[in-house]
């Protein structure tokens, strides 16, 4: 079963993570896994056209691979979050290795925003991340754009469930390219029709 919205029970159980923004009149558009040379420039052009600021959770190795695109994200005034160096899954990765990956990415661009790849961390990792002064940013609405079984029409249909304070999760990656590019412009239109504005996370 595909869950576009994260159940409230999950949010309550994992309450040391940030699931929502604070402004009831806003939503928070976020992108994981970039920068990517095939998708990120397209996203940046769309956001510029729509006058939207978003938050990009970047993988350290991709920052190194695409430094100009990363600088373009910064130049356009978007927020940056840490997404580890090589997209390690917290569960199954030692805390020492996981924290080293976060620190290695911080050395490229320091951010107090952190999103765990796959949304998976263990309790010890959470404690260590919070000790660094970071906010663990999750999401309330997931486009599921990375799934091979997903189609853009289904993502767009589920946009009617988006509401104020939601953190929206998309991916600027090769795997998500078709679903993301075909659905994102429509999602933006639907959100604006709801009289909600877009804000970056901070």
What's this model's pTM, rounded to 2 decimal places?
Answer: 0.96
> What digits encode the pLDDT tens for the residues 77-95?
999 999 999 999 999 999 9
Q: What pLDDT does residue 2 have? A: 66
Supply the mean pLDDT for the chain. 96
The answer on pLDDT for 115 being more than 70 is yes
Q: What pLDDT does residue 3 have? A: 77
Q: What pLDDT does residue 187 have? A: 98
Domains annotated for the chain, with CATH where assigned, are 16-197 (3.20.20.370)
Q: Cα separation of 83 and 81, whole Å?
A: 6
The answer on pLDDT for 120 being more than 80 is yes
> What digits encode the pLDDT tens for the residues 41-81?
999 999 999 999 999 999 999 999 999 999 999 999 999 99
Q: Cα separation of 179 and 62, whole Å?
A: 21
């Amino acid at each position: 079963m595909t869950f576009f919205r994260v159940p409230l029970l999950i949010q309550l159980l994992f309450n040391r993570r940030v699931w929502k923004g604070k402004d009831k009149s806003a939503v928070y558009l976020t992108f994981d896994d970039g920068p990517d040379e095939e998708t990120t420039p397209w996203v940046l052009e769309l956001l510029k056209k729509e006058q939207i600021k978003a938050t990009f959770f970047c993988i350290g190795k991709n920052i190194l691979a695409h430094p100009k695109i990363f600088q373009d994200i910064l130049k356009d005034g978007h927020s940056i979050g840490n997404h580890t160096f090589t997209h390690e899954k917290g569960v199954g990765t030692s805390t020492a290795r996981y924290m080293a990956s976060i620190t290695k990415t911080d050395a490229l661009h320091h951010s107090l925003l952190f999103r765990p790849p796959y949304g998976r961390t263990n309790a010890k990792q959470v404690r260590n991340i919070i000790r660094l002064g970071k906010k663990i940013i999750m999401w309330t609405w997931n486009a599921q754009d990375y799934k091979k079984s997903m189609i853009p029409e289904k993502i767009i249909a589920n946009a009617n469930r988006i509401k104020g304070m939601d953190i929206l999760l998309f991916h600027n990656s090769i795997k998500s390219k078709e679903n993301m590019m075909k659905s994102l412009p429509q999602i933006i239109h639907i959100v604006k029709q709801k009289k909600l504005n877009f804000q970056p996370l901070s």
